[in-house]
Structure 1
Amino acid sequence: MKNSSDTSRGHGEGRAAAEARFEEPADGTTRDRVMSSILHHGPSTAAQLADRLGLTPAAVRRHLSALGESGQIASREQRVFGSRGRGRPSRVFFLTDSGRADYYTAYDELAITALKQLAAAAGPDALAAVAQARVDDIEAKYRELRAARPDQDPAQTLAESLSADGYVASLEPAVAGRQICQHNCPVAEVAKVFPELCEVETRLFSELLGSNVQRLATIAHGDGVCTTHVPVDVEITRKRIGPPVSG
């Protein structure tokens, strides 16, 4: 005969299983949603993911554990700017190269092959022209947004123009400035072979913001986020020269 504790435990286990089935109708689908949320919002805590996806933190942690075991995500301590409160900082989860590979296609291989042939046939100047043409679209979007919002922080405008081009960018606080964080890179696989793409992009950031920005990390080099440091003098520059004049 079962005692009351056995019965209670049985009911508890049954309820937990029922809740799990309700929350996770398809593990693959839910885990895809978790990965997609991290891709589009950048490194995230379990609580942030639970809030976005409408799941309990416990359910999200189960998926994060499975994704971590498969090598699709990794975690690190959340960066804290300013004074840190009591307790350990939360952990944020980000996509690994393996996790990002699910979002890349055979077009990356085609682009790499085409650029290799172009460089071999026409030389490095032709490759530089391709890299410049790629960032011309970013510049055009930036100038369009600056004209519409001349009083907005130019670094924020740049982040928004990058997001419009698929980079899922945000502007984050940092010591002695801010950081433009690009949580996705549509050309990451190509940039691994042709780092000129990243170099031209960084130069464009400096030109648009009127400041010597510094690229700290790139997805192409295996980092979780492309990170560019924007020093505080950008705000001074913006007030001095005002919004760019369209030509």
Structure 2
Amino acid sequence: MKDDLDLSTRNRIMQLLKTSGQLTAKELTDQLGITGMAVRRHIANLERDNLIESTTVRLPMGRPAAVYRLTDTADDFFPKNYHAVALDLLAELESESGEEMVNHLFDLRRSTLENRYVGKMTGNNLEHKVAALSEIQNENGYMASWEKSGDDGFILTEYNCPISQVANKYNHACSCELQLFESLLNAEVSRTDCLANGDNKCVYRIHPL
């Protein structure tokens, strides 16, 4: 129960800072109706997690005080609706220019990503390439992991797909990802599970050519 209360108070502090821009610890205490000590504890935890930051300002009366505001990192804490905007834009493009143009857009994205990441696929060791690809996908929010499979194979697993809503409607996005992996790894890659198809993860089986 205490953890739930702590989380609720933490959320309220972030909501207050989002709507107010910046607040002192006293202003937070007054609005939350809890003790100053409790507010300072939450502030310390939020600063530790790089969700808020402070600057010292001079007040009209009294000593200078710390004023707290959200960091750029905290922006991810609040709901986003990017996928809906992306789907609307793709639907407009499809209506105006046809499905082929939408697919062409995904092909261009695959080419851009290949050019961006090919430099990280150094050497001819497939294991190193798979590890590098997993790291790239993790940086992009795919919650990826990899493991060896058999004598010369590997399995790359993604537990999250940041573009799942888009991929659900436009399957060519998944095809482009598969082609991207094949090109970056210079290997045979097959997908056995797919989040866009209702599975709980994406699984890629990788073998040398």
Establish whether TM, by shorter chain, passes 0.5. Answer: yes
The percentage of aligned residue pairs carrying the same residue is: 24
Q: 2:79, 2:196 → 1: CA distance?
A: 13
Matched residue of 1:212: which SS? strand
Rate the CA distance shift 1:155–1:116 in 2: closer, same or farther, 3 A. Answer: same
Aligned partner of 2:193 among 217, 237, 247: 217
**Superposed, which structure 2 residues align to 1:1-247 within 5 Å?**
24-26=2-4, 29=7, 105-147=80-122, 153-175=128-150, 177-231=153-207, 233=208
Question: Where do 5+ consecutive residues of structure 1 fail to align?
Answer: 1-20, 31-101, 235-247
Whose strand proportion is higher, 1 or 2? Answer: 2
CA contact (8 A) 2:106 2:172 kept: yes
Q: Deviations over 1:99-126 (max 9, x none)?
A: xxx9974221221121122112112231
Q: Does the 8 Å contact 1:179/1:228 carry over to 2?
A: yes
Distance 1:178 1:154 in 2: 11
SS of the residue aligned with 2:156?
strand
Deviations 1:80-103 (A, max 9, x none): xxxxxxxxxxxxxxxxxxxxxx99
| Deviations, residues 226-245 of structure 1 (Å, cap 9, x unaligned) | 111102x26xxxxxxxxxxx
How much has 1:211 moved relative to structure 2? 2.2
Q: Which position in structure 2 is the counterpart of 1:82?
A: none
- Secondary structure at the counterpart of residue 153 of structure 1: helix
Report the residue type matching 1:184 in the other structure.
N
Q: CA deviation at 1:135?
A: 2.7
Work out the CA distance in 1 between the residues paired with 2:79 and 2:150. Answer: 34
Kindly tell me: are residues 136 and 29 of structure 1, through their superposed partners in 2, closer, same or farther at Cα, counting changes over 3 Å? Answer: farther
The number of residue pairs the alignment matches comes to 139
Q: Which runs of 5+ in 2 are unaligned?
A: 9-76
Q: How much does 1:142 deviate?
A: 2.5
The answer as to whether partners of 1:182 and 1:227 remain within 8 angstroms in 2 is: yes
Which whole-Å CA distance do the structure 1 matches of 2:107 and 2:137 have between them?
15
Letter in 2 for 1:188: S
Q: What TM-score do you get using the length of structure 2 for normalisation?
A: 0.57
Deviating 4+ runs (over 6 angstroms): none
Moved more, 201-210 or 137-146: 137-146
Counterpart of 1:225 in structure 2: which amino acid?
K
On the 8 A contact 2:147/2:154 being kept in 1, the answer is yes
Say which is worse superposed, 216-225 or 197-206, in terms of deviation: 216-225
- Report the CA distance shift for 1:228/1:137 in structure 2 as closer, same or farther (over 3 A): same
- Equivalent-residue separation in structure 2 for 1:122 and 1:219 (angstroms): 28
Provide the rounded CA distance (Å) in 1 between the counterparts of 2:6 and 2:99: 44
